[in-house]
Structure 1
Amino acid sequence: MNSVNEILEYLKNHSSEKYKENVTKLGIPKENSLGVSIRELRKLAKKLKPSNALAKELWNTYYHEAKLLSVLLIDVYTVDPEWAISLMKDVVSWDLCDHLCKNLLYYLPEYNDLILAWQNDERLYYKRAAFSLIANAAVHDKKMEPLQLDAYLNSIQKHKSDARPHVRKAVSWALRELGKKDIESYKKAVVVAKKLEESDDKNKQWIGKDALREFKQLIPIKNRKRLVSKNSKMGKLYGNQS
Structure 2
Amino acid sequence: MNELGPYSDVETILAHLRGLRNATNIEGMGRFGIRTETALGISNPVMQAIARKIKKDHARAFLLWATDIREARMLALYTFDPKKLTQQDAIRLAEDFNSWEIVDTAADLFVEARLEAELVPLFAGDEREFVRRTAFAMIAGAAVHLKKEPDATLLAWIPLIDRHARDPRNFVRKAVNWALRNIGKRNRGCHGPALALAERLASDDDKTARWIGKDAVRELTSPKIIARLKP
Contact 1:41 1:69 in 2 (8 A): yes
Say if 2:34 and 2:100, in contact at 8 Å, map to a contact too.
no
Match of 1:220 in 2: 227
Separation of aligned partners in 2, 1:121 and 1:49:
33
Q: Deviations over 1:178-232 (max 9, x none)?
A: 01111221122111100000111111001001111212321334xx739xxxxxx
Paired residue type of 1:101: A
In structure 2, C-alpha distance between the alignment counterparts of 1:120 and 1:160, rounded to whole Å = 13
Query: Given the alignment of the two structures, is residue 42 of structure 1 paired with residue 48 of structure 2, yes or no?
Result: yes
Residue correspondence of structure 1 range 54-65 to structure 2 within 5 A: 54-65=60-71
Greater displacement, 114-123 / 93-102: 114-123
Q: Confirm or deny: 8 A CA contact 1:161 1:201 kept in the other structure.
A: yes
After superposition, the Cα gap between the structure-2 partners of 1:119 and 1:80, relative to the gap in structure 1 and judged at 3 Å, is closer
Percent identity, please: 34
Tell me which amino acid in the other structure corresponds to 1:116: P
Checking the alignment, whether the CA contact within 8 Å between 1:131 and 1:171 is kept in structure 2 is yes
1:164 aligns with 2:169: yes
Q: Deviations over 1:128-176 (max 9, x none)?
A: 0110111011001113323323211121122262111100000000001
The answer as to whether partners of 2:125 and 2:132 remain within 8 angstroms in 1 is: yes
Separation in structure 2 between the aligned mates of residue 27 and residue 135 of structure 1, nearest angstrom: 20
Contact 2:165 2:176 (C-alpha < 8 Å) held by counterparts = no
Correspondence for 1:178 among 167, 177, 183: 183
Gaps of 5+ in 2: none
1:8 aligns with 2:14: yes
- 1:236 matched to which residue of 2? none
Per the alignment, residue 84 of structure 1 pairs with 90
Counterparts of 1:6 and 1:164 in 2: how far apart (Å)?
39
Normalization by structure 2: what TM-score? Answer: 0.89
- Taking the aligned partners of 1:51 and 1:146, their CA distance within structure 2 comes to 33
CA distance in 2, matches of 1:196, 1:160: 8
When residues 141 and 80 of structure 1 are mapped into structure 2, their CA distance, relative to the original with a 3 A threshold, is closer
1:71-220 matched pairs, under 5 angstroms: 71-102=77-108, 104-159=109-164, 161-217=166-222, 218-220=225-227
TM-score normalised by the chain length of structure 1? 0.85
Task: Give structure 1 stretches of 5+ with no counterpart.
Answer: 227-242
RMSD: 1.8
Residue 20 of structure 1: aligned partner: 26
State the AA in 2 paired with 1:28: R
